[in-house]
A and B are shown apart, each in its own frame.
Chain A
């Protein structure tokens, strides 16, 4: 088998077409108190896209960390091109040809694209001087190969998120990779950008690179992958041929039960208008936006990233000052210049990125929940711990929060449960208007349905909900009405029952 390693990937594919390029064999990894991986085996063939699915905490990232050498397996063996390998660290993994493309980009924004691509392996001349000519020439070639239209000398901070992702992928191509792992690569990409990414993945496939593709998004997995492996609770629940399976089967494997059909208990009779926005404008972010949300109604706001959705929410919540327009609560014009004003007027905002904007990660679940209402659980600045505990107890039950205890730091919870803590934090303030931005971003399928159910419940209890989302099924499934945004303007308004997917897509694309 030793000689095999000397062949290029292409030759190898001819010798043994679709032979397993990577073979993870019976890997077990235990952390104190948790079996993160239990006898996991996985095969990736050359030129294959192998999707890895599982809820958060199922063991996907642990498995990939073992593969990249961030963790050492307790038991089991990894074979690359038939040879057993020991990966002692990310550097080693890179030289073996195993590259991870992380969900959180790890680029130096102040440096140029080329410098970032070759970070840690800059071409050198004598005496350790950087060979800049070679650097930019090589980087340019990599960008061409990826079909990128920006220059190698551009600074990374000037690039869009999608283009930064391309730089990260470019990094992988420096060492002719054999295995490339994509971890949720489309989390912050627009549809057009996804198309480019998929093209890149397919071209890697043509070069017989083995691809591991981790994602929550079923549609992507079914478009891209050849096979799907599902992990649950640290063990492989099945490996399926994509062509011979369907979403239901995969979901069942993933959550261990069938997903209940989306309950769609729409409010029969929405109440009076709770929030009304008239002619709201802010710089070049959005212009002349007017809409209303009634009590007991979920209004979906749909549009591409950059269409101004989040900025509108932030303006209503007092985080941005509008240039023009007015905001009415229960029919009365209100002046909101800061979040405390918004809270006083019964408005709550569950922000787009929970970790960056919604939670103090190192704090316990209880303390995070009471953070928005410290005034209510204290007297002259003195905290009443039993009142805080009461808030936690109440909303942990109501939201069926799964947390080992009230004192668990939220950083240790899954995305779905973190979102519940954010919701709990706001429900305590008894808001009349809830703005929820990307309620299920990065949340696994099982918890998604739960969060959707909660949003409907809140509306049924009389809350006015404005839900911002870039996921079509979510907008269609949860909202009563849908506002389509295009380039900072309200392009159209639809009734969720009668709108078609085509009409929505056209509205947000400015057609």
Chain B
């Protein structure tokens, strides 16, 4: 059984097969798809969702979820752009990031101390924070008066956009965190069996709070990088992002029930969404077809996943 090729096959997130298929398809059928310029384009486009997805993966492996990420995107972007005239760019950005982390802390503490489901807690946070953003901005968009801010969003290093580098570097770091550190191992243990993790001496509550802070940080960072791309922020920024992020993470093989998931899978999920959007856009497919295709792929991936899991389980469980 251990030699069965199916085992190894099942360890590669199935989303990568779909990603390769999508790339191959668009390379043939979409004229300007297969080009370095377009690929860097995709990387920038996906980096926003991608950054949040890195944090969301950990929270979901923990068996929790964070629906407030879209609102945090708007909050962090508004703070970073709105405060930079008074504080300067770097302090304003730090305030934006700090707000994301602080909100994550709050989410985590409420989930830990009250035992209320993360879905409900962060649903409340999602609405509340969005309201705060509208209050703070007075429903106005903010524009950055300092060109250095927008320049950063457009800059590139060695021909690759800086924002893409940021995303790729953080992906590698998160992959290492999840596979090689105690924090990562604890995340799987807490999501896999919370009681057993507790009995093994893991401080489950603190661990979960740390991960909510992590996803808050990533959401805030995504909001700030997004605002550097536009040189502006709007109070509606990041609307529905939580759904795209969760879609990407689930496409990547992370289970809503916790304990299962990988950063590499999430990267595959994020890229698949990016490639589909970009490729269909190049083929001039209307945007709502993109949604239909995306929905179909989401369900198809889950079906394949369930199949493979059932077969692997049935193989040894007598």
Contact = CB atoms under 8 A, between A and B. Distances in A.
Contacts of A340: 201, 203
Nearest to A414: B318
B316 A362 contact: no
Interface stretch (B143-151, B158-166, B186-194): B186-194
B196 A359 contact: yes
B257 to A, nearest CB: 10
Interface in B108-130: none
B1 interface: yes
Given A357-B196, A362-B259, A372-B200, A404 B1 contact: yes
20 contacts: A31-B318, A32-B6, A317-B199, A319-B198, A319-B199, A339-B199, A340-B203, A349-B199, A359-B193, A360-B188, A362-B192, A367-B189, A371-B196, A371-B197, A374-B185, A374-B202, A375-B182, A381-B182, A382-B182, A425-B200
Contacts of B202: 371, 374
A183 to B, nearest CB: 14
A412 B316 CA distance: 6
B78 to A, nearest CB: 34
Contact of A339 (B188, B189, B200, B260): B200
Interface string A331-350: 00000001110110000010
Contacts of A59: 318
A343 B1 CA distance: 37
Nearest to A383: B180
B212 to A, nearest CB: 18
A452 to B, nearest CB: 23
Q: 8 closest A-B pairs (Cβ-Cβ)?
A: A360-B192, A374-B182, A33-B1, A372-B200, A371-B200, A360-B193, A412-B316, A343-B201
A358 interface: yes
Interface of B: 1-2, 4, 6, 180-183, 185-186, 188-189, 192-193, 195-203, 259-260, 313-318
Interface in A385-401: 385
A338 B200 contact: no
Contacts of A361: 192-193
A378 interface: yes
Nearest to B183: A381
A408 B189 contact: no
A412 B317 contact: yes
Contacts, number: 100
Contacts of A112: none
Contacts of B182: 374-375, 378, 381-383
A110 B196 CA distance: 26
A411 interface: yes
Contact of B192 (A317, A363, A374): A363
A34 interface: yes
A61 interface: yes
Contacts of B188: 360, 363, 367
B201 A360 contact: no
A69 interface: no
A356 B193 contact: yes
Nearest to B179: A383
Contact of B314 (A31, A343, A351): A31
Contacts of A383: 180-182, 185
A121 B1 CA distance: 41
B199 A34 contact: no
A59 B196 CA distance: 28
B197 A61 contact: no
Nearest to B205: A338
A408 B2 CA distance: 8
B199 A62 contact: no
Contacts of A404: 1-2
Given A371-B185, A371-B197, A405 B2 contact: yes
